[in-house]
Amino acid sequence: MKWQARKDIDWLAVLPAQAAQAVLKTYLQAWKNCWDGRADKPNFKARVRTVMSVDIPQGRDLNITRVHRRWGMVNIPEIGRVRFRWTKDLPVGKRANKENRITGARLVKDALGWHIAFRVQTLQAKPEPHAGPEVGIDAGVNLPLALSDGNHQDHGRPTRTENGTADRDKWLTAEEKAKLLCLERRAAHRKSFRKPKERTSNRLRNTYDQIRTLRARATRRATDWQHQTTTALARIYGTLVVEQLHIPNMVKSAKGTIEEPGKHVAQKAGLNRAISQEARGRTVTMLTYKAARNGGTVHKVPAPNTSRRCSACGFITPGSREDQATFVCKSPDCGWSGNADYNAARNLLHLYRMGHALIPAAGRAVVRRTRGVKPATAR
C-alpha cells in the first residue's frame, strides 16, 4: 500500500520512505478509531491547528550515545547528529537486547522548542494485585482532587482572581502574569494596524510566539503536577473509584438562543473555564494506566446525585449545595456540613461498595508493552 501510494501521490513520493510510512500509518489508525467508535472520522487539520512532528519508525537508525550525565547524541535521518537532554535512562549499548530496546522516536515542536521522545519496548512482569485501601476520588473546582479518606490533593494555585472570576493563568507567577498581560496588549495594538487578508508582520508573530511560550510553560507545570499526584495515588491505593463524566456536556455554553436566552451566562462561562483547566479526563487516564502498572484498578460509578446526596445520612434534599464549595444537609435529623467535593468522594466510594460500579476503566497490565520516555529537549 505504501509503495502504491507513493506512485499515485506526487507529494508523498517526495518524502523519505520512513516519513511517508508514518503518515499512512497515522491515517489508517485514525480510520480504525472512527470505525471502532472511539473518535470521529479524520478531517483536514491546518498547520496552525496541529503540532509539528516528525516520526522516526526505525530505532536502529538512531545510534544513540550518551555524552555525559546530562546530555546525549542521537542520529536523525536527513539531519545528522543532534544533541538532546538526557532525562531518563535508555536501553543503549550493552543494556539493549531483544526484550529491552528502542523501537523508534518522534520529534515534536511546541512553543518551547524541539523535543524528542523515544519509544522503548521492555519486557515487564505482570504486577501482583495491589493490597492498598479503597478510595473515592472526586475532581472539583475549588479542590482539584478530593479523597474519601480526607487525604485531599491540592496544587495550591488560586482558582479565582480578586474580582471573583476564574483565574486562567493560575500556573504562572505574578511576574509572568504581568508579562503575559503586557504581551497580549501589545499583540492587540499591533493587530489593529493589520488590514484584512494582510500578512502577519514579523513583530506581531514574535509577540504571539512569546505568548505561546508562557502558555506552554503553564501547561507543563499543570501536567507535571498531575503526573506526580496520580503516581503517588496509584502507589498508595489499590482501588480508585471515580465518577463517570462526559466533560463536553459539562462545559456547554449557557447562552441559549435569541428566543430563549440563557441565565447566568458569565458565571457558567467561568465555571466551564475552571473545569477545562483542571483536565479531569487526563487525570483519569493517568490514574488508569498507573494503577494498572502497580496492580491496582480504577472503577467508574454513575455520577447522578453524587454531589447532592448526604454521605452521612444518605438523604437527598434540595438546596443542600449552598455554594460551589460547601455542602449542608437539610435533613432535620442530620445537619452534617462540610466540603462539597469531600462529600461527593465519600458517595463515590459508597456506590462502589454497593455494587454500582460500571465496567472498569480501560488499561490492563500486559507482559510486553511499549512505554514512552519523557520528552527530552533537543539542542
pLDDT, the chain, mean? 81
Which single residue is written with the C-alpha cell 443542600? 320
Of 205 and 268, more confident: 205
15 against 212, higher pLDDT: 212
Q: What is the mean pLDDT of residues 242-248?
A: 79
State the sign of the Cα–Cα–Cα–Cα dihedral 353, 235, 106, 21: negative
Mean pLDDT is lowest, of 135-149, 262-276, 355-369, for 355-369
- Per-residue pLDDT of 93-137, as tens digits, reads 888 888 888 988 888 888 888 899 998 888 888 888 888 899 999
Q: Does residue 236 surpass a pLDDT of 90?
A: yes
Alpha-carbon distance of 364 to 297, in angstroms, equals 9
| pLDDT value for 366 | 33
Whole-angstrom CA distances from 312 to 143, 169, 338, 340 are 20, 37, 11, 12
| Contacting residues for 206 by C-beta, under 8 A, at least 6 apart | none
Quick one: cell of 284?
483519569
Nearest to 246 by CA among 274, 284, 277: 284
Count other Cβ atoms within 10 Å, centred on residue 126: 11
What pLDDT, on a 0 to 100 scale, did the predictor assign at position 143? 82
Is the model more confident about 157 or about 91? 91
Task: Give yes or no for residue 158 having a pLDDT over 80.
Answer: no
* Amino acid, res. 109: K
Q: What gap in Å lies between CA 32 and CA 28, rounded to an integer?
A: 6
Whole-angstrom CA distances from 141 to 155, 170, 272 are 12, 13, 10
Structural contact between residues 239 and 137, judged by C-beta atoms closer than 8 angstroms? no
Encode pLDDT of 53-105 as tens digits. 878 877 887 889 988 889 999 998 778 898 999 988 888 888 888 888 898 88
- What pLDDT does residue 182 have? 95
The sign of the CA dihedral 341, 343, 349, 355 is negative
pLDDT, average across residues 336-360: 83
> Would you list the domain boundaries of the chain?
2-125+370-377, 134-369
